[in-house]
């Protein structure tokens, strides 16, 4: 290997840092410290997920990876003079606005993505476009600090269930699939949230992105490798679930589950990672000793010069950025303090053709409505003896800790005896879900949200309505209605809920009657 090729990698250890870069690095460190302090609660929430959630444990390595990526590029980056970039204030303002909107909607993912985005944007502001062009990939890799992926769990559960039942059929095991439940002679198996494969998928995407940058020049090869990193974990998770069911036919369900967590959970997926990397290794078209960036090309690029500003402007730009942060926090606090007038007590109104009765489910069921000012759970019965359970919750506003459509809120409480089976039949504009209690009792639940003129089961539309209310500092109540019925030999829950829904005519005015201040 020619010494000049390997020199940059070896030179970093004893490299002298020029004075302009020492000053720029100190400024950036102080700016990032200020961002962490200003949004400490969001960073603490992310750190809690990194440490305590197995889905996001891999993120603990991301800061180490970013540091290594910067170190790898350091000899070349130091050949780029740090400047400033006043245009970075625009995306920084958008990031602050994104945090405000996420705060108004009680949407932690949006808030966390916004505060993470402030890191590379502030680097652009402090270091300028040329230096950030050299650090583009390490700065972009900060996106993996955001704990995202929970939104993928339901579709991944369904994909895994379909793959598993297909493989089970090929292996000659008689089985029946019902949503995410697979019934076999060895027992009933559930493709639970933990079995969706989401933790391995997002970790594989993070690893694949790193490897694609290090090992490939060709964009086509990078795209093909990333597709492999998405498809293979999903298929492998289906094989893992099938392996558990297959083993259970011979050793029993309990022992097979233990094997699954030990062998398939660690060894199997380790082999999958090794297989993906081994298959791709021969197609790498970038030498490990090759410089990560070309500082001469970056310095010669006239487009970057248009975005540069003198270093002397950095203090003023940081002052504007600080004002944006303080203004965003003040706006968020004002919006979070909104509260619509509430009734002292709420009652479930009469429904034509249905009578109020005691709540007595075959399997205990209690929806969750954290942060609500009022909530009610009752039952109605018709002349045929069909029972419909009604849950109603009323909120003075949406916000942090008051999220009717948030994770763990509504018909299905995480960690309980009820599990999500599949989506249910479409009835009105409600969100429809089939729930199963310990694999035996089935319940169909319909959820509506009400905010002003909004009525429907879309959590996204509910959050957008909440954002609009907070932006306009307009206090408006929010309510959640869940109609639910258990399946029994004498009751078809879909038929009962359709008839109850028809008796209401329009759930919106009925919900408004309950929420009306008295």
Report the distance separating Cα 472 and Cα 490, nearest Å: 50
Average pLDDT (75-101) is 95
Average pLDDT (90-100) is 96
- Residue 257: the pLDDT is 64
Average pLDDT (365-376) is 94
Average pLDDT (436-465) is 91
pLDDT at 449 over 80: yes
Q: What is the tally of structural domains in the chain?
A: 3
Determine contact, residues 392/376, Cβ cutoff 8 Å: yes
Q: Tokens for 411?
A: 């018909």
pLDDT in tens, 480-507: 999 999 999 889 999 999 999 999 988 9
* Least confident span in 13-22, 125-134, 167-176, 403-412: 13-22
Cα angle value 201/114/475 (rounded, 5°): 115
Residue 287 lies in a domain: no
In this structure, how many other beta carbons lie within 10 angstroms of the beta carbon of residue 23? 13
Residue 386 lies in a domain: yes
pLDDT at 376 over 80: yes
- Residue 190: the pLDDT is 75
Average pLDDT (345-350) is 91
Cα angle value 99/101/103 (rounded, 5°): 70
Beta pairing class for 181-184 and 187-190: antiparallel
313 and 366 assigned to the same domain: no
Residue 348 lies in a domain: no
pLDDT at 259 over 80: no
- Residue 175: the pLDDT is 84
- Residue 258: the pLDDT is 63
- Residue 2: the pLDDT is 37
- Residue 5: the pLDDT is 38
78 and 196 assigned to the same domain: no
The residues, any chain, with a CB within 8 Å of residue 139's CB and separated by 6 or more, are 119, 120, 123, 132
- Residue 33: the pLDDT is 97
Average pLDDT (416-432) is 91
Average pLDDT (207-233) is 93
pLDDT tier at 6 (50, 70, 90 boundaries)?
very low
The residues, any chain, with a CB within 8 Å of residue 410's CB and separated by 6 or more, are 367, 368, 369, 404, 447, 480, 482
Residues 391-423 as b/e (b if ≥16 CB within 10 A, e otherwise) read bbbbbbbbbbebbbbbeebbbbeeeeebbbbbe
pLDDT in tens, 52-65: 988 899 999 999 99
Cα angle value 225/226/228 (rounded, 5°): 65
29 and 113 assigned to the same domain: yes
- Residue 265: the pLDDT is 57
- Residue 169: the pLDDT is 87
pLDDT at 277 over 80: yes
133 and 232 assigned to the same domain: no
267 and 193 assigned to the same domain: yes
- Residue 100: the pLDDT is 93
252 and 392 assigned to the same domain: no
pLDDT at 4 over 70: no
Residue 190 lies in a domain: yes
Domain that holds residue 208: 151-281
319 and 176 assigned to the same domain: no
**388 bridge partner residues:** 380
509 and 368 assigned to the same domain: yes
pLDDT tier at 260 (50, 70, 90 boundaries)?
low
pLDDT in tens, 157-198: 889 889 988 998 888 888 888 777 888 888 778 777 777 888
- Residue 264: the pLDDT is 57
- Residue 496: the pLDDT is 95
Residue 92 lies in a domain: yes
Residue 162 lies in a domain: yes
108 and 172 assigned to the same domain: no
Task: Give the rounded percent of residues in the chain with a pLDDT score beyond 70.
Answer: 94
Average pLDDT (426-452) is 93
327 and 429 assigned to the same domain: no
- Residue 8: the pLDDT is 46
Residue 203 lies in a domain: yes
- Residue 256: the pLDDT is 63
The residues, any chain, with a CB within 8 Å of residue 513's CB and separated by 6 or more, are 349
Average pLDDT (370-396) is 95
pLDDT in tens, 34-55: 999 999 999 999 999 999 988 8
317 and 395 assigned to the same domain: no
The residues, any chain, with a CB within 8 Å of residue 205's CB and separated by 6 or more, are 226, 229, 230
pLDDT at 437 over 70: yes
Tell me the chain's radius of gyration from C-alpha atoms: 28
Average pLDDT (464-485) is 90
pLDDT in tens, 305-341: 889 999 999 999 999 999 999 999 999 988 878 888 9
463 and 507 assigned to the same domain: yes
**484 bridge partner residues:** 389, 445
Residue 247 lies in a domain: yes
pLDDT at 3 over 60: no
Q: Tell which phi-psi region holds residue 236, choosing left (phi > 0), alpha (psi between -120 and 50) or beta.
A: alpha
The pLDDT mean for the chain works out to: 89
């Amino acid at each position: 290997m020619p010494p000049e090729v390997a020199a940059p990698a070896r030179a970093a250890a004893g490299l002298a840092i020029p004075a302009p870069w020492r000053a720029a690095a100190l400024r950036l460190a102080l700016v990032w410290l200020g961002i962490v302090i200003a949004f400490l609660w969001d960073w603490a929430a992310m750190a809690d997920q990194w440490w305590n959630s197995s889905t996001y444990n891999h993120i603990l390595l991301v800061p180490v990876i970013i540091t290594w990526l910067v170190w790898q590029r350091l000899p070349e980056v130091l050949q780029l003079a740090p400047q400033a970039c006043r245009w970075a204030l625009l995306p920084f303002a958008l990031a602050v606005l994104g945090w405000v909107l996420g705060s108004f909607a009680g949407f932690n993912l949006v808030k966390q993505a916004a505060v993470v985005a402030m890191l590379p944007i502030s680097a652009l502001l402090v270091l300028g476009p040329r230096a950030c062009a050299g650090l583009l990939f390490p700065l972009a890799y900060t996106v993996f600090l955001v704990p995202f992926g929970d939104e993928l769990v339901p579709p991944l559960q369904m994909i895994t269930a379909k793959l598993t039942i297909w493989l089970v059929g090929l292996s000659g095991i008689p089985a029946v699939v019902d949503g995410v439940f697979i019934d076999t002679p060895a027992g009933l198996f559930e493709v639970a949230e933990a079995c969706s494969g989401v933790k391995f998928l997002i970790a594989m995407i993070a690893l694949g992105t790193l490897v694609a940058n290090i090992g490939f020049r060709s964009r086509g090869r990078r795209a093909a490798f990333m597709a492999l990193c998405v498809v293979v974990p999903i298929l492998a998770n289906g094989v893992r679930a099938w392996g558990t069911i297959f083993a259970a036919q011979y050793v029993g369900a309990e022992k097979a589950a233990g094997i699954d967590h030990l062998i398939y959970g660690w060894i199997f997926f380790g082999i999958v990672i090794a297989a993906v990397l081994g298959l791709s290794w021969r197609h790498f078209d970038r030498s490990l000793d090759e410089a990560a960036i070309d500082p001469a090309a970056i310095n010669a690029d006239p487009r970057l010069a248009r975005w540069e500003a003198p270093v002397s402007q950095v203090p003023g730009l940081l002052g504007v950025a600080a004002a944006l942060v303080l203004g965003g926090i003040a706006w968020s606090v004002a919006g979070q303090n909104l509260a619509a007038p509430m009734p002292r007590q709420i009652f479930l109104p009469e429904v034509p053709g249905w009578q109020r009765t005691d709540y007595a489910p075959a399997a205990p069921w209690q929806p969750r409505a954290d942060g609500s000012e009022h909530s009610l759970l009752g039952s109605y019965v018709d002349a045929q003896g069909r029972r419909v359970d009604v849950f109603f919750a009323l909120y003075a506003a949406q916000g942090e800790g008051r999220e009717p459509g948030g994770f763990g809120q509504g018909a299905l409480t995480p960690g309980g005896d009820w599990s999500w089976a599949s989506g249910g039949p479409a009835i009105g504009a409600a969100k429809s879900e089939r729930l199963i209690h310990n694999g035996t009792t089935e319940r169909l639940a319909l959820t509506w949200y009400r905010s002003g003129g909004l009525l429907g089961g879309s959590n996204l539309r509910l959050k957008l309505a909440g954002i609009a209310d907070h932006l306009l500092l307009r206090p408006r109540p929010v309510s959640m209605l869940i109609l639910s019925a258990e399946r029994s030999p004498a009751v078809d829950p879909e038929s009962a809920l359709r008839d109850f829904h028809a008796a209401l005519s329009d759930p919106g005015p009925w919900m408004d009657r309950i929420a009306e201040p008295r």
